[in-house]
Amino acid sequence: MSAQFFFFSGDGVSAFSFNKLVIFGVGLIGGSLARALRERSGATGRVIGVGRRAHSVARALELGVIDAAATLDDEAALAAALEGADLVLIAAPVAQTQALLERIAPHLEPQTIVTDAGSTKGDVIAAARAALGARIGQFVPGHPIAGRESSGVEAALPDLYVGRNVVLCPLEENAPEALERIAAMWRATGAVIGQMPAAQHDRVFASVSHLPHVLSFALVDQILATPDAELKFSFAAGGFRDFTRIAASSPEMWRDVCLANRTALLAELDAYTDVLAKLRAAIDAGDGAALETVFARSRAAREAWQERGGKRAGGAAAGGSPGAGNDPAGAAPGK
């Protein structure tokens, strides 16, 4: 499979219809999908929200994002929610994937296609294989690269995915029709659809998403540990705001992402530490030329990325979410 092969690009609305979509985790990611399908594509299928707690899905119901709600602790309601479903989205922290799929499995009908919104794929695929066994072909791994600082269903937007990348990591067991069905769902939101192998996905996003989130959290934590933290925060301006924007992301989600993708993330952290050491040495030595060389090279690369469309797909490079992320990966059920 070729790297980052994009088979659809456009900012229009693609026709899409469905009978029943069940969303586990109706937060920013799941809620925005529901709103986009309704308000952008005009799809009229029923959307059922499933959460850990009744109050969270009740809020989604109150806002009109979903048509009906169920909770994970109500087996009868869960079975009814999945009955006749053609699509299921898991928009929960990646560590919850296997447990959720195990709950879904007894009620999974042959026509139902399950996908996810997780920021890591190797661990999610392993969880899906463990939970679904021979029915693994019904699971299409996915990752919408979009998000906001805000989370929860109140933050859901019908235009969240317009022009944003959605990466699919097909399995050998996926039927072409299942893959195209999930691609069509995301196209209907205005997203740009691409494919890459799961291992490559995790390496790429360790670099351009997971590492930036760790660094952002780390900077805020570093300042918090100083005796004059309040004074520093009072004078923080644009640079601090831009760099730490993604530190407003879900701690639960990013804890799970870091642990799930630890091998690739540790490699990126080590490489970043090497660069910091070189910059530190240049600063210590008063070597302005070395600093300027690194800064100029970085600026040129950043500008080239921007010209290639980085501004339009900013959520892709930043990780979806600030969450998420994507949150690129959405809120946990019941959050």
Spell out the per-residue pLDDT of the chain, length 335, in tens: 344 444 444 445 567 899 999 999 999 999 999 999 999 877 889 999 999 888 879 999 999 999 999 999 999 999 999 999 999 999 998 999 999 999 999 999 999 999 999 999 999 999 999 999 999 999 999 999 987 766 788 888 999 999 999 999 999 999 999 999 999 999 999 999 999 999 999 999 999 999 999 999 999 999 999 999 999 999 999 999 999 998 988 898 899 999 999 999 999 999 999 999 999 999 999 999 999 999 999 999 999 998 887 644 443 333 333 334 453 333 334 33
CA dist list (Å): 102 to 98, 127, 129, 132: 6, 9, 10, 7
CA angle 94, 269, 122 (to 5 degrees): 30
Tell me the two tokens of residue 83: 């009955």
pLDDT at position 331 is 37
pLDDT at position 318 is 33
Residue 79 and residue 96: Cα distance in Å, rounded?
A: 19
| Run of H or E including 294 | helix 288-305
3-state secondary structure of 148: coil
Residue 88 and residue 247: Cα distance in Å, rounded?
A: 29
pLDDT at position 319 is 37
Torsion of CA 190, 195, 198, 201, to 10 degrees: -70
pLDDT at position 52 is 86
pLDDT at position 54 is 85
Residue 312 and residue 62: Cα distance in Å, rounded?
A: 32
pLDDT at position 13 is 54
pLDDT at position 335 is 35
Give, to the nearest 10 degrees, the angle between helix 97-104 and helix 122-132.
Answer: 30
First to last CA, the chain: 36
Of 8, 11, 65, 14, nearest in space to 41 by CA:
14
CATH topology of domain 6-335: Rossmann fold (3.40.50)
List, edge to edge, every strand of the sheet that includes 139-140. 68-71, 46-51, 20-24, 87-90, 113-116, 139-140
Residue 102 and residue 235: Cα distance in Å, rounded?
A: 49
Q: How far is CA 93 from the centre of its chain?
A: 9
Give me the amino acid identity at 226: T
Q: Which residue has the tokens 């990126």?
A: 268
CA dist list (Å): 35 to 65, 84, 303: 6, 21, 34
Query: How many residues make up the chain in this entry?
Result: 335
Q: Which residue has the tokens 């939101």?
A: 189
| Run of H or E including 143 | strand 142-144
Domain boundaries, the chain: 6-335
pLDDT at position 334 is 38
